[in-house]
Chains A and B, each alone.
Chain A
Amino acid sequence: MLTRRLARFFRRFKPAAPPLTAAVNPDGEAAYRPLDRQVIRGVWGWMRPFRKAYLLAVVVGLIQTLLEMIAPRYMQQLIDVDIPGRQPNFFLASAERVAAWLRLPAETVHPGHLTLAVWNIGATIAVWALTMTAALLLQRFQLRFTTTIGQKVLFNLRRAVFRHLQSLSMNYYDQTKFGRILTRGTSDIDTMANFIVWGLNTLANNLMMMAIAAGIIIFMDWRIALAVLWLGPVLYVMNLFYRRRIGAAWRRVREGYTRVSTNLAENISGMRVVAAFNRQHENLLVFNDLQSTNTANNMRTAFINGVYQPLLSVVGFSGKVIILLFGAWLVFHTAVAPTARRFTVGELIALYMYWDWFMGPVINFGNFYSDTMMAMACAERGQTLLAQKPQVADAPGAAALPLIRGAVRFEHVHFGYDPAKPVLHDIDFDVAAGQTVALVGHTGCGKTTIVSLICRFYEPQRGRILIDGLDLRAVTGESLHRQMGIVSQLNYLFTGTVLDNIRYARPDATDQDVYEAARQLNCYDAIMKLQHGFQTVVTERGASVSLGQRQLICFTRAFLTNPRILLLDEATSAVDMHTELLLQEALAKLVANRTTFIVAHRLSTVVNASLVLVLESGRIIERGTHHSLLQQNGKYAMLYREFTGAA
């Protein structure tokens, strides 16, 4: 029984894959990653431009640490030499030598009205104070300098990530969860910041501290060094073990807490449903259940802390005990053995002080280890992102699209978001400039995909899309988008005023331009009905603007650029019938001389289109005008009957 326990205990020290790497962040990605040469090379790549500065910082840090680490030696001198006051200490003796060289009597250095002890103590404290002043000045420099470099690296990284994200095409955004993309630019970079700004610096400092302390201990007395230094590795391993267990426990706390907070958040957002279905009591029970788990998880961490913290301090403390006992023995022993070098009380106290310098870093290394792995995971993800190639990019010699007339032609286009699963099959149509095209069909038949292809959000796997006879692939994206207006289903608005949102694509438009565009679309009055009219601030998913009103704003935004090609993807689904009618009256005039694609469920929008394409499962199954299709009495006629309720 005991042996098995012991075996299990020791197995944990094996350098097997640390359980840390099993942890995931809230987005389901690995939170930790073992060291990896390629990732380190990547991180080094970001730091490389500042390598000289880093070197300087390390050197300054080394000097500062060295200066601060003289302290126990001053203490030693204070106790061994200064207080007994039998002879001048090192500083006074040096000063005496200088005085002798200047042919001054030794008395000038320490006049006799005060005892030698007082002069000794004064000299030591003064030099000590000077040393500390220098060290603190160096620290000030180092803090400022190192942090600034770290922040520069970090901000460069932020810039690179954002710039790169902007260059990626829609397929990246489709395939990657919103939360993950968000993490890339925010918490991932912050975690790395911790590492690049503080972690490396702390590592270097701690390494120096520990090495110097160990060196001094060995140098001062190798016997005591032998007796205590082995505790270092023991403490390190114990700390590692503790970090692992507490890390796992904290992970559970975090997971449990996430459950508590999600439950709470969900019930607040869904409060109306809660009230309507009388769930208050049950919900509280569920919530308190989650809370109890949370309490239990926290108590587990408290238990682990309660056990390990004293254990760790006992190991640290036993070093001090060894130093005290062994030191005391040495003090007495060398005092009576006249042949041996005297081991003094001052030395004992200095060793006692150096022990803290040795143990502190050992503990810090344990923390540093998990920090590093966390930074590695973030760095790796950042590198993966930066290595992503945009799927749709301007071809090398792409020319700017000239002012277009707006003829759109699909030549046998095949497309799937995943090439293995085609969404569009052999789409082939030709639209003359200025025509209005309606795309009709059930949900999921590919209407929106056709619109996205015209926008060049994706590239077809086969076939070509031509605008005014020019292949979309041969023109620059920017020149294409400048001449298009898109109102999509998602009707996304940015934080800011309605006014700013409308002129989003044309920042140079004046207020009057915006009002004029809204008037032409007959939605000026509807926007003026908002709390502060055009100055109303739109918040993300905020309640200040209703769904229908959002659509109107998007509509005006698309129209303001005076586009040659207008794409309306379910643009008015949430607008009430009355407003939609007004909009359509306006549209009838506005679409007159631009090519327009309309996707709509409500077929009332379709009636006036010059071409109706009926889609089913990614194929065009019928095409014609509203009337010719009704006469065909096919799919379209059926859809139309369903819509008007005549079925």
Chain B
Amino acid sequence: MDGPSRSKPAARKTATDRDVPTAQNTPPSTGLPPVEDDDDPDSCRRTSSAPPRDVDGTALPLGQFSNFQLLRRMLQFIKPVRGLAVLVCLLVAVGVLLEVAGVDLTRVVLNRISLALGHPSTPGGASIYGTILILVGLLGGLVALSGVNSFFSSLANTKLGMNMVFHMRATVYDQLQRVGFSFHDQHSSGQLINRALSDLSNIRQFVNNALVSLVQIAAYVIGYNILIATINPWAGLAALLPIPFWLWYIQRFSRKIQPIQRRLMTTGDNLVTVYSENVAGVHVVKACATEPTEIKKYFRLLDAMFGQVLTTVGMWANFIPVIRGIATASNLTLFFIGALLAAHGYLHPGDILVLGVAMGAILGRLQQINVISNQYQTAVVSARRFFEVLYAAPNVPELPHAPPLPPGPGLVEFSFVTFGYDPAKPVVRDISFDVEGGSVVALVGPTGAGKSTLMQLLARFYDPQSGVILIDNVDIRKVALNSLRQNIGFVFQETFLFSDTIANNIRYGNPHASDAQVEAAARLAQAHDFIMELPQHYDTTLGERGTTLSGGQKQRLSIARAIVTNPRILVLDDALAAVDPRTEHLIRRALELVLRDRTVFIIAHRLSTVQQADLVIVLENGRITEAGRHEELMRQYGLYREIAELQLRG
């Protein structure tokens, strides 16, 4: 929970409070400094070396981009905030500069003290004491300055990250809203949510961090190395020696531990899956009396996970002493060189101390390179998936300057419409029919016959591969999508309500609807009575933290939602399945009154609903096999009659 809140001080700590690496006593979890992150608190729970995973565990490849292209595209997210980015880099560099200057000043103070002692002319050091006072005052000024600097760089860096993420999120959000149904069919919503949240956050973290941290690392390495080199060029050279070894070892370790951590994470996911399934499906577990089996299954996973945990623990326990050993060895070498030089009068005590501080600071910062390289690997995978969303073409392109749908009675005509979600496998074939304005049409047929598909074509959620759909004699592809959908009230088979108040849910398609209109619609949909029984009536909030409704109640709300938009054509896609027969009867009665002059399409299983339609269309395997009024169809010996008789037989 407090990952992010801890990361800041911890990251700073490596820089200022604890510059002596031999004084570190870090547990493995913070062996690598955590990434600074201002947003997306959840992302911090994952270790930075974890590769992003999809909901179903697979990464969908987007083959057309090379890693380099991806990198270039990722870096483009900086463009809208480039001024701020330059500012942040400057502030960071200045901060490092101030820090180095502070360390140098400390060195000078210590040197002065020991120098004054060795100097016979100033035995009491009285005069030198004044100089030291001034130097320390200067040091205080530096610290104050670096405090001001760190205040502004904290603000600027957060602003940079937030602006970037704002822009990216708004873009992907709008893209997801407009990309069309086909795209959403191909990806589960969990996948897409992951794309827009964690993948986006991975990219942003990398871009932001790559920018700022690289500047910071460069400033640290250069700044401190110059400091060491000014003390003594040989020491400066010696300080460079451990760097390649250090980087190599960290890289090697991270390469070795990554696959194990990935496996650990998969096991962890499986564990959570088993756990949550046992909670969600507890009635099945109880009914089948499989508790012991489930416990065994869970424990088996736990054992596997424990083994993996021990492996990583062992690896960390080996890694940390070695990496600290390298740091200690380089420090001691520097101390050795420094002390030898001091013994011959080339260096002073303060210089030796600062050698250690500088070495520690350089190595500590260089650990960050590994973080960036891990972030890069993560970001490349994420970017592939993210751009897949961002660059997806909408599946129902709108003509430029398409006019709105002209007013009319609601005539609907399908002529030779063929469509398949996969063009090679048509779901509906050669569908032709026309419907008078204001009539009620029932679509009947077995599951998978293509009833819902037909209706989705009507609202242009998809475009047919061939054939034309006309509303009031206008091809629906030639009109503005907005106006087309405004004229069609759609009640989906799977009810979806937003976690908002009931009133807002009902006026979802018509935000300007008055309370009276909302209530009227609710009454028509037979929802008013149960709404009034809820604690806050129309202001009751629905959703996870709010009230939960039964399936039938939700369906009635979604009918009300469709009615409020006052559509020319109403589509009820099996919208009454969860409503009990009596309520359904009432709803139909009510609708008949209001929708007298609207065209209504009903998809239903219940015969009672179908009987009263002006036209019954029977679909089988994507084709119309029968069409006509109930009485006419009962006279034929087709599927309709078979089904009807079975339902009526009693």
Contact = CB atoms under 8 A, between A and B. Distances in A.
A41 interface: no
Contacts of A370: 2
B581 interface: yes
A81 to B, nearest CB: 11
A186 B272 contact: yes
Interface residues of A, number: 184
Given A209-B25, A260-B169, A577 B605 contact: yes
A64 to B, nearest CB: 8
Contacts, number: 473
Nearest to A487: B287
Interface stretch (B158-166, B235-243, B532-540): B158-166
Contact of B277 (A262, A298, A494, A604): A494
Nearest to B284: A492
Contact of B286 (A137, A357, A442, A481): A481
Interface centre among B447, B485, B511, B648 (most CB of A within 10 A): B447
Interface stretch (B4-12, B73-81, B469-477, B594-602): B4-12
Interface in A139-165: 139-141, 143-144, 147-148, 151, 155, 158-159, 162-163, 165
A541 to B, nearest CB: 9
Interface stretch (A214-222, A282-290, A465-473): A282-290
B459 interface: yes
A275 interface: yes
B566 interface: no
A601 B289 contact: no
Nearest to A133: B325
Contacts of A170: 282-283, 286
Interface in A277-320: 277-280, 282-284, 287-288, 291-292, 294-295, 298-299, 301-303, 305-307, 309-314, 316-317, 320
Interface string B145-183: 011101110110111011100100110011011101100
A497 B581 CA distance: 36
A382 B178 CA distance: 45
Contacts of B143: 313-314, 317
Interface stretch (B190-198, B202-210, B218-226, B377-385): B190-198
Interface centre among B5, B139, B150 (most CB of A within 10 A): B5
B299 interface: yes
Interface in B70-125: 106, 109-110, 113-114, 116-117, 123-125
Interface stretch (B15-23, B249-257, B409-417, B514-522): B15-23
Contacts of B148: 310
B7 to A, nearest CB: 11
Nearest to B28: A143
B585 A504 contact: no
B273 A495 contact: yes
A225 B279 CA distance: 58
A360 B18 contact: yes
Contacts of A128: 332, 335
A276 B485 contact: yes
A455 interface: yes
Given A147-B317, A301-B158, A360-B18, A482 B23 contact: no
Contacts of A647: 585
A540 interface: yes
B342 interface: yes
A612 interface: no
B17 A307 contact: no
Contacts of A169: 286
B22 A577 contact: no
A593 interface: no
Contacts of B178: 280
A33 interface: no
Nearest to A283: B177
B643 to A, nearest CB: 5
B646 A276 contact: no
Nearest to B344: A117
Interface in A563-588: 573-579, 581
Contacts of B248: none
B557 to A, nearest CB: 12
Interface stretch (B60-68, B365-373, B427-435, B486-494): B486-494
Contact of A576 (B282, B447, B482, B565): B447
Contacts of A117: 340, 343
A480 B288 CA distance: 10
Contacts of A639: 581
A115 B320 contact: no
A28 to B, nearest CB: 7
B150 A309 contact: yes
Contacts of B639: 578
Given A143-B317, A166-B291, A356-B18, A278 B39 contact: no
A313 B349 CA distance: 25
B565 A121 contact: no
B246 interface: no
A481 B150 contact: no
A623 to B, nearest CB: 18
Given A299-B158, A310-B150, A336 B123 contact: yes
A519 interface: no
B174 A280 contact: yes
A349 interface: yes
A369 to B, nearest CB: 11
A267 B177 contact: yes
Contacts of A327: 113
Contacts of B278: 162, 165-166
A173 B279 contact: yes
Given A170-B286, A209-B25, A578-B446, A151 B306 contact: yes
Interface centre among A115, A124, A274, A306 (most CB of B within 10 A): A306
B2 A247 contact: yes
B404 to A, nearest CB: 12
A442 B552 CA distance: 12
Nearest to A362: B17
A400 to B, nearest CB: 11
Nearest to B147: A310
Given A121-B339, A348-B110, A477-B289, A601 B580 contact: yes
A278 to B, nearest CB: 5
A384 interface: no
Contact of B189 (A246, A269, A276, A331): A269
A573 B577 contact: yes
B39 A257 contact: yes
Interface in B606-632: 606-609, 611
Contact of B136 (A136, A325, A335): A325
Nearest to A190: B45
A617 interface: no
Given A273-B492, A275-B461, A298 B38 contact: yes
Contacts of A457: 283, 286
A170 B282 CA distance: 8
Contact of A443 (B184, B550, B649): B550
A332 B125 contact: yes
A275 B488 CA distance: 11
B41 interface: yes
Given A504-B290, A642-B581, A253 B41 contact: yes
Given A83-B343, A264-B173, A488-B283, A644 B650 contact: yes
9 closest Cβ contacts across the A-B interface?
Answer: A645-B608, A310-B147, A277-B509, A332-B125, A302-B158, A505-B288, A481-B289, A306-B151, A306-B154
25 contacts: A136-B321, A136-B322, A143-B313, A148-B310, A162-B298, A178-B279, A243-B5, A250-B2, A254-B41, A264-B169, A264-B197, A276-B509, A288-B166, A298-B161, A298-B162, A313-B143, A324-B109, A331-B113, A352-B353, A356-B18, A443-B580, A457-B283, A493-B281, A495-B277, A576-B605
Given A277-B509, A455-B287, 17 more contacts: A79-B349, A121-B340, A141-B317, A151-B310, A159-B298, A162-B295, A170-B282, A257-B42, A267-B177, A270-B498, A271-B184, A294-B166, A298-B162, A310-B148, A313-B147, A335-B124, A488-B283
